[in-house]
Structure 1
Protein backbone atom coordinates (compact mmCIF):
# COMPACT_ATOMS: atom_id res chain seq x y z
CA UNK A 1 0.00 0.00 0.00
CA UNK A 2 1.40 3.36 -1.01
CA UNK A 3 2.40 5.98 1.50
CA UNK A 4 -0.55 8.27 1.98
CA UNK A 5 -0.34 11.90 0.92
CA UNK A 6 -1.86 14.58 3.12
CA UNK A 7 -2.95 17.95 1.72
CA UNK A 8 -2.84 20.54 4.49
CA UNK A 9 -3.95 24.16 4.50
CA UNK A 10 -1.71 26.53 6.49
CA UNK A 11 -3.59 29.58 7.79
CA UNK A 12 -6.21 28.83 10.42
CA UNK A 13 -5.35 25.13 10.24
CA UNK A 14 -1.66 24.75 11.05
CA UNK A 15 -1.52 28.31 12.36
CA UNK A 16 -3.88 29.40 15.10
CA UNK A 17 -7.06 30.97 13.65
CA UNK A 18 -6.54 33.92 16.01
CA UNK A 19 -3.30 34.97 14.22
CA UNK A 20 -4.76 38.08 12.58
CA UNK A 21 -6.77 39.32 15.53
CA UNK A 22 -4.07 41.30 17.41
CA UNK A 23 -3.18 43.09 14.14
CA UNK A 24 -6.84 43.85 13.36
CA UNK A 25 -7.50 45.13 16.87
CA UNK A 26 -4.47 47.40 16.83
CA UNK A 27 -4.86 48.85 13.34
CA UNK A 28 -8.65 49.22 13.27
CA UNK A 29 -9.05 50.21 16.94
CA UNK A 30 -11.23 47.19 17.68
CA UNK A 31 -11.43 44.78 20.59
CA UNK A 32 -12.64 41.57 18.94
CA UNK A 33 -12.03 37.91 19.68
CA UNK A 34 -12.26 34.88 17.38
CA UNK A 35 -15.86 34.34 18.53
CA UNK A 36 -16.82 37.65 16.93
CA UNK A 37 -15.80 36.45 13.45
CA UNK A 38 -18.80 34.61 12.02
CA UNK A 39 -17.80 34.84 8.34
CA UNK A 40 -14.62 33.87 6.51
CA UNK A 41 -14.61 37.16 4.59
CA UNK A 42 -13.14 39.45 7.23
CA UNK A 43 -14.13 42.73 5.58
CA UNK A 44 -17.73 41.51 5.66
CA UNK A 45 -17.45 40.00 9.13
CA UNK A 46 -16.03 43.24 10.56
CA UNK A 47 -17.97 45.67 8.35
CA UNK A 48 -14.78 47.21 6.95
CA UNK A 49 -14.87 48.33 3.27
CA UNK A 50 -13.39 45.54 1.13
CA UNK A 51 -10.82 47.74 -0.62
CA UNK A 52 -9.58 49.23 2.65
CA UNK A 53 -9.28 45.82 4.26
CA UNK A 54 -7.53 44.36 1.20
CA UNK A 55 -4.96 47.19 1.14
CA UNK A 56 -4.33 46.73 4.84
CA UNK A 57 -3.98 42.95 4.52
CA UNK A 58 -1.54 43.18 1.59
CA UNK A 59 0.73 45.41 3.68
CA UNK A 60 0.45 43.33 6.85
CA UNK A 61 0.69 39.82 5.37
CA UNK A 62 4.47 39.39 5.88
CA UNK A 63 4.29 40.49 9.53
CA UNK A 64 1.24 38.33 10.22
CA UNK A 65 2.73 35.21 8.64
CA UNK A 66 6.11 35.69 10.32
CA UNK A 67 4.55 35.86 13.77
CA UNK A 68 1.60 33.45 13.44
CA UNK A 69 1.43 31.08 16.41
CA UNK A 70 1.00 27.37 15.77
CA UNK A 71 -2.41 25.85 16.40
CA UNK A 72 -2.35 23.89 19.65
CA UNK A 73 -1.08 20.34 19.13
CA UNK A 74 -0.24 20.86 15.44
CA UNK A 75 3.51 20.45 15.77
CA UNK A 76 3.39 17.19 17.72
CA UNK A 77 0.91 15.60 15.32
CA UNK A 78 2.69 16.80 12.16
CA UNK A 79 6.05 15.54 13.42
CA UNK A 80 4.53 12.09 13.99
CA UNK A 81 2.81 12.10 10.62
CA UNK A 82 5.98 13.10 8.75
CA UNK A 83 7.50 9.74 9.73
CA UNK A 84 4.60 7.86 8.15
CA UNK A 85 3.00 10.07 5.48
CA UNK A 86 3.86 12.64 2.81
CA UNK A 87 2.87 16.18 3.81
CA UNK A 88 1.88 18.68 1.13
CA UNK A 89 1.05 22.13 2.50
CA UNK A 90 -1.30 23.82 0.01
CA UNK A 91 -2.15 27.44 0.78
CA UNK A 92 -3.97 30.36 -0.80
CA UNK A 93 -0.98 32.55 0.07
CA UNK A 94 0.65 34.16 -2.95
CA UNK A 95 3.97 32.89 -4.27
CA UNK A 96 5.98 36.01 -3.33
CA UNK A 97 5.45 35.00 0.31
CA UNK A 98 7.34 31.71 -0.11
CA UNK A 99 10.52 32.85 1.68
CA UNK A 100 8.56 34.04 4.73
CA UNK A 101 6.52 30.82 4.71
CA UNK A 102 9.58 28.56 4.50
CA UNK A 103 11.33 30.54 7.25
CA UNK A 104 8.28 30.13 9.48
CA UNK A 105 8.23 26.35 8.93
CA UNK A 106 11.94 26.20 9.70
CA UNK A 107 11.53 28.29 12.85
CA UNK A 108 8.68 26.04 14.01
CA UNK A 109 10.72 22.93 13.12
CA UNK A 110 7.93 21.49 10.95
CA UNK A 111 9.06 19.18 8.15
CA UNK A 112 7.27 18.86 4.82
CA UNK A 113 7.48 17.27 1.38
CA UNK A 114 6.26 20.38 -0.42
CA UNK A 115 4.82 23.82 0.18
CA UNK A 116 2.57 25.06 -2.62
CA UNK A 117 1.39 28.68 -2.49
CA UNK A 118 -1.30 28.93 -5.15
CA UNK A 119 -2.53 32.50 -4.66
CA UNK A 120 -6.16 31.37 -4.76
CA UNK A 121 -8.63 29.55 -2.56
CA UNK A 122 -9.27 26.98 -5.31
CA UNK A 123 -7.09 24.14 -4.07
CA UNK A 124 -8.67 21.35 -6.12
CA UNK A 125 -6.11 21.50 -8.96
CA UNK A 126 -3.13 21.32 -6.58
CA UNK A 127 -4.74 18.59 -4.47
CA UNK A 128 -5.38 16.59 -7.64
CA UNK A 129 -1.88 17.27 -9.03
CA UNK A 130 -0.23 15.85 -5.91
CA UNK A 131 -2.71 13.00 -5.55
CA UNK A 132 -3.56 13.73 -1.93
CA UNK A 133 -5.63 11.12 -0.09
CA UNK A 134 -7.06 13.42 2.59
CA UNK A 135 -7.20 17.19 3.12
CA UNK A 136 -7.14 19.44 6.21
CA UNK A 137 -8.85 22.82 5.96
CA UNK A 138 -10.59 25.61 7.87
CA UNK A 139 -12.53 27.28 5.01
CA UNK A 140 -15.98 25.75 4.72
CA UNK A 141 -16.55 25.99 0.96
CA UNK A 142 -13.01 24.74 0.24
CA UNK A 143 -13.59 21.69 2.41
CA UNK A 144 -16.89 20.89 0.69
CA UNK A 145 -15.63 21.44 -2.87
CA UNK A 146 -12.43 19.41 -2.33
CA UNK A 147 -14.43 16.52 -0.91
CA UNK A 148 -17.09 16.63 -3.64
CA UNK A 149 -14.63 16.97 -6.53
CA UNK A 150 -11.95 14.51 -5.37
CA UNK A 151 -14.11 12.14 -3.27
CA UNK A 152 -11.60 12.19 -0.44
CA UNK A 153 -12.20 12.84 3.26
CA UNK A 154 -11.64 16.44 4.37
CA UNK A 155 -11.12 17.32 8.01
CA UNK A 156 -12.59 20.75 8.75
CA UNK A 157 -11.15 22.48 11.80
CA UNK A 158 -14.07 24.00 13.70
CA UNK A 159 -14.12 27.80 13.95
CA UNK A 160 -16.93 30.33 14.42
CA UNK A 161 -16.62 31.29 10.71
CA UNK A 162 -17.20 27.85 9.17
CA UNK A 163 -20.42 26.64 10.79
CA UNK A 164 -22.55 26.01 7.66
CA UNK A 165 -23.73 22.39 7.23
CA UNK A 166 -21.27 19.91 5.70
CA UNK A 167 -21.74 16.68 3.70
CA UNK A 168 -20.85 13.32 5.18
CA UNK A 169 -17.30 13.24 3.77
CA UNK A 170 -16.34 16.48 5.51
CA UNK A 171 -15.51 15.69 9.12
CA UNK A 172 -15.44 18.41 11.76
CA UNK A 173 -12.65 18.30 14.33
CA UNK A 174 -12.05 20.72 17.19
CA UNK A 175 -8.28 20.34 17.38
CA UNK A 176 -5.25 18.41 16.16
CA UNK A 177 -5.68 15.69 18.77
CA UNK A 178 -9.10 14.86 17.31
CA UNK A 179 -7.64 15.03 13.79
CA UNK A 180 -4.95 12.53 14.77
CA UNK A 181 -7.51 10.16 16.32
CA UNK A 182 -9.68 10.29 13.20
CA UNK A 183 -6.69 9.69 10.92
CA UNK A 184 -5.49 6.73 13.01
CA UNK A 185 -8.89 5.09 12.66
CA UNK A 186 -9.10 5.93 8.94
CA UNK A 187 -5.66 4.48 8.20
CA UNK A 188 -6.49 1.32 10.16
CA UNK A 189 -9.79 0.93 8.27
CA UNK A 190 -8.09 1.49 4.89
CA UNK A 191 -5.51 -1.20 5.69
CA UNK A 192 -8.22 -3.76 6.40
CA UNK A 193 -10.25 -2.99 3.27
CA UNK A 194 -9.58 -4.57 -0.13
CA UNK A 195 -7.19 -2.34 -2.12
CA UNK A 196 -9.48 -0.15 -4.19
CA UNK A 197 -7.13 2.70 -5.09
CA UNK A 198 -4.00 2.62 -7.18
Structure 2
Protein backbone atom coordinates (compact mmCIF):
# COMPACT_ATOMS: atom_id res chain seq x y z
CA UNK A 1 0.00 0.00 0.00
CA UNK A 2 1.19 3.48 -0.82
CA UNK A 3 1.98 5.63 2.20
CA UNK A 4 -0.11 8.74 2.69
CA UNK A 5 1.29 12.11 3.70
CA UNK A 6 -0.43 13.01 6.96
CA UNK A 7 -0.08 16.54 8.39
CA UNK A 8 -0.97 16.96 12.05
CA UNK A 9 -1.52 20.14 14.02
CA UNK A 10 -0.33 20.09 17.65
CA UNK A 11 -2.31 22.39 19.98
CA UNK A 12 -5.86 21.16 20.56
CA UNK A 13 -5.29 18.29 18.13
CA UNK A 14 -2.55 16.27 19.82
CA UNK A 15 -2.76 18.18 23.09
CA UNK A 16 -5.93 18.23 25.15
CA UNK A 17 -7.59 21.51 24.11
CA UNK A 18 -8.28 23.06 27.51
CA UNK A 19 -5.07 22.46 29.49
CA UNK A 20 -4.27 26.20 29.55
CA UNK A 21 -7.47 27.17 31.43
CA UNK A 22 -6.14 26.75 34.98
CA UNK A 23 -2.99 28.82 34.38
CA UNK A 24 -4.94 31.51 32.53
CA UNK A 25 -7.47 31.73 35.37
CA UNK A 26 -4.67 32.23 37.91
CA UNK A 27 -2.95 34.87 35.81
CA UNK A 28 -6.06 36.85 34.84
CA UNK A 29 -8.03 36.15 38.05
CA UNK A 30 -10.89 34.70 36.00
CA UNK A 31 -13.09 31.68 36.61
CA UNK A 32 -13.69 30.25 33.17
CA UNK A 33 -14.29 26.53 32.74
CA UNK A 34 -13.84 24.20 29.76
CA UNK A 35 -17.51 24.75 28.91
CA UNK A 36 -16.82 28.47 28.43
CA UNK A 37 -14.24 27.84 25.70
CA UNK A 38 -16.60 28.27 22.74
CA UNK A 39 -14.22 30.45 20.68
CA UNK A 40 -10.75 29.67 19.39
CA UNK A 41 -9.29 33.06 20.32
CA UNK A 42 -8.32 32.65 23.98
CA UNK A 43 -8.29 36.39 24.75
CA UNK A 44 -11.94 36.58 23.66
CA UNK A 45 -12.86 33.66 25.94
CA UNK A 46 -11.06 35.35 28.84
CA UNK A 47 -12.53 38.77 28.09
CA UNK A 48 -9.09 40.43 27.97
CA UNK A 49 -7.24 42.35 25.28
CA UNK A 50 -5.18 40.48 22.71
CA UNK A 51 -2.09 42.34 23.98
CA UNK A 52 -2.71 41.16 27.57
CA UNK A 53 -3.08 37.59 26.39
CA UNK A 54 0.10 37.79 24.28
CA UNK A 55 1.98 39.09 27.34
CA UNK A 56 0.68 36.10 29.34
CA UNK A 57 1.70 33.72 26.54
CA UNK A 58 5.15 35.29 26.30
CA UNK A 59 5.67 34.74 30.03
CA UNK A 60 4.07 31.30 30.35
CA UNK A 61 3.95 29.79 26.84
CA UNK A 62 6.88 27.41 27.32
CA UNK A 63 5.46 26.15 30.62
CA UNK A 64 1.99 25.71 29.08
CA UNK A 65 3.40 23.72 26.15
CA UNK A 66 5.67 21.59 28.31
CA UNK A 67 2.92 20.74 30.82
CA UNK A 68 0.15 20.16 28.25
CA UNK A 69 -1.61 16.80 28.44
CA UNK A 70 -1.97 14.79 25.25
CA UNK A 71 -5.46 13.84 24.12
CA UNK A 72 -6.56 10.31 24.98
CA UNK A 73 -5.12 7.81 22.46
CA UNK A 74 -3.04 10.52 20.73
CA UNK A 75 0.10 8.40 21.20
CA UNK A 76 -1.65 5.35 19.73
CA UNK A 77 -2.88 7.41 16.77
CA UNK A 78 0.47 9.03 16.06
CA UNK A 79 2.39 5.76 16.47
CA UNK A 80 0.00 4.09 14.01
CA UNK A 81 0.35 6.92 11.49
CA UNK A 82 4.13 6.91 11.87
CA UNK A 83 4.32 3.17 11.11
CA UNK A 84 1.89 3.20 8.18
CA UNK A 85 2.38 6.64 6.61
CA UNK A 86 4.55 9.77 6.41
CA UNK A 87 4.00 11.94 9.49
CA UNK A 88 4.46 15.72 9.49
CA UNK A 89 3.73 18.03 12.41
CA UNK A 90 2.55 21.41 11.11
CA UNK A 91 1.86 23.99 13.80
CA UNK A 92 1.17 27.72 14.03
CA UNK A 93 3.60 27.92 16.96
CA UNK A 94 6.42 30.44 16.61
CA UNK A 95 9.93 29.20 15.82
CA UNK A 96 11.11 30.14 19.34
CA UNK A 97 8.90 27.32 20.68
CA UNK A 98 10.80 24.62 18.78
CA UNK A 99 12.95 23.41 21.72
CA UNK A 100 10.04 23.15 24.16
CA UNK A 101 7.95 21.42 21.48
CA UNK A 102 10.66 18.82 20.88
CA UNK A 103 11.10 18.34 24.66
CA UNK A 104 7.36 17.74 25.03
CA UNK A 105 7.39 15.12 22.25
CA UNK A 106 10.26 13.30 24.00
CA UNK A 107 8.54 13.60 27.40
CA UNK A 108 5.32 12.10 26.01
CA UNK A 109 7.23 9.48 23.98
CA UNK A 110 5.57 10.54 20.72
CA UNK A 111 7.00 9.65 17.31
CA UNK A 112 9.42 12.20 15.90
CA UNK A 113 8.07 13.04 12.44
CA UNK A 114 9.21 16.23 10.73
CA UNK A 115 8.29 19.40 12.62
CA UNK A 116 7.28 22.67 10.96
CA UNK A 117 6.64 25.73 13.16
CA UNK A 118 5.03 28.24 10.80
CA UNK A 119 4.40 31.17 13.12
CA UNK A 120 1.10 31.56 11.26
CA UNK A 121 -2.28 29.86 11.09
CA UNK A 122 -2.09 29.77 7.29
CA UNK A 123 -1.09 26.19 6.51
CA UNK A 124 -2.19 25.73 2.90
CA UNK A 125 1.22 26.39 1.32
CA UNK A 126 3.00 23.97 3.68
CA UNK A 127 0.32 21.34 2.99
CA UNK A 128 0.93 21.79 -0.76
CA UNK A 129 4.70 21.59 -0.28
CA UNK A 130 4.31 18.33 1.68
CA UNK A 131 1.85 16.90 -0.86
CA UNK A 132 -0.54 16.38 2.05
CA UNK A 133 -3.26 13.74 1.68
CA UNK A 134 -4.98 14.36 5.03
CA UNK A 135 -4.59 17.25 7.47
CA UNK A 136 -5.66 16.72 11.10
CA UNK A 137 -6.61 20.06 12.64
CA UNK A 138 -8.71 21.63 15.42
CA UNK A 139 -8.97 25.26 14.28
CA UNK A 140 -12.15 25.72 12.24
CA UNK A 141 -10.78 28.53 10.06
CA UNK A 142 -7.72 26.45 9.17
CA UNK A 143 -9.92 23.48 8.29
CA UNK A 144 -12.04 25.67 5.97
CA UNK A 145 -8.93 27.11 4.26
CA UNK A 146 -7.41 23.66 3.77
CA UNK A 147 -10.62 22.04 2.51
CA UNK A 148 -11.27 24.95 0.15
CA UNK A 149 -7.76 24.43 -1.24
CA UNK A 150 -8.66 20.78 -1.96
CA UNK A 151 -7.21 18.96 1.05
CA UNK A 152 -9.03 16.31 3.08
CA UNK A 153 -9.31 17.55 6.66
CA UNK A 154 -10.11 15.65 9.84
CA UNK A 155 -11.45 18.27 12.25
CA UNK A 156 -10.78 17.21 15.83
CA UNK A 157 -13.92 18.14 17.73
CA UNK A 158 -13.67 20.91 20.35
CA UNK A 159 -16.24 23.24 21.86
CA UNK A 160 -14.75 26.11 19.85
CA UNK A 161 -15.07 24.51 16.39
CA UNK A 162 -18.67 23.27 16.30
CA UNK A 163 -19.72 25.24 13.24
CA UNK A 164 -21.09 23.54 10.10
CA UNK A 165 -18.47 21.69 8.05
CA UNK A 166 -18.05 21.87 4.29
CA UNK A 167 -17.16 19.10 1.80
CA UNK A 168 -13.62 17.91 2.43
CA UNK A 169 -13.95 18.19 6.22
CA UNK A 170 -14.84 15.23 8.42
CA UNK A 171 -15.43 15.86 12.11
CA UNK A 172 -13.74 13.31 14.38
CA UNK A 173 -14.13 12.96 18.12
CA UNK A 174 -11.02 11.00 19.09
CA UNK A 175 -7.81 9.49 17.79
CA UNK A 176 -9.39 6.09 17.19
CA UNK A 177 -11.78 7.74 14.72
CA UNK A 178 -8.81 9.48 13.10
CA UNK A 179 -7.20 6.12 12.34
CA UNK A 180 -10.48 4.70 11.00
CA UNK A 181 -10.93 7.71 8.69
CA UNK A 182 -7.35 7.45 7.41
CA UNK A 183 -7.89 3.74 6.66
CA UNK A 184 -11.17 4.53 4.87
CA UNK A 185 -9.51 7.28 2.82
CA UNK A 186 -6.63 4.99 1.84
CA UNK A 187 -8.98 2.20 0.73
CA UNK A 188 -11.06 4.65 -1.34
CA UNK A 189 -7.89 6.00 -2.94
CA UNK A 190 -6.78 2.48 -3.92
CA UNK A 191 -10.20 1.71 -5.40
CA UNK A 192 -10.07 4.94 -7.48
CA UNK A 193 -6.57 4.10 -8.72
CA UNK A 194 -7.53 0.59 -9.81
CA UNK A 195 -10.88 1.58 -11.38
Which band: TM-score by shorter chain?
over 0.9
RMSD across aligned positions (CA): 1.4
CA contact (8 A) 2:134 2:153 kept: yes
CA distance in 2, matches of 1:46, 1:32: 7
Query: Aligned residue for 1:140?
Result: 140
CA contact (8 A) 2:138 2:156 kept: yes
Using the TM superposition, give the Cα deviation of residue 30 of structure 1 relative to its aligned residue in structure 2, in angstroms: 2.2
CA contact (8 A) 1:86 1:112 kept: no
Structure 2, unmatched stretches of 5+, are none
CA distance in 1, matches of 2:190, 2:34: 39
CA distance in 2, matches of 1:195, 1:25: 55
108-117 or 187-196, which deviates more: 187-196
CA distance in 2, matches of 1:124, 1:153: 12
Query: Aligned residue for 2:153?
Result: 154
Query: Aligned residue for 1:97?
Result: 97
Query: Aligned residue for 2:16?
Result: 16
Query: Aligned residue for 2:56?
Result: 56
CA distance in 1, matches of 2:98, 2:50: 25
CA distance in 2, matches of 1:32, 1:138: 20
Give me the TM-score of the superposition, normalised by structure 2: 0.95
Structure 1, unmatched stretches of 5+, are none
Using the TM superposition, give the Cα deviation of residue 195 of structure 1 relative to its aligned residue in structure 2, in angstroms: 6.0
1:70-128 superposed Cα distances (whole Å, 9 cap, x missing partner): 01111011111111101100001011111111111111111133000010101111111
CA distance in 2, matches of 1:189, 1:119: 34
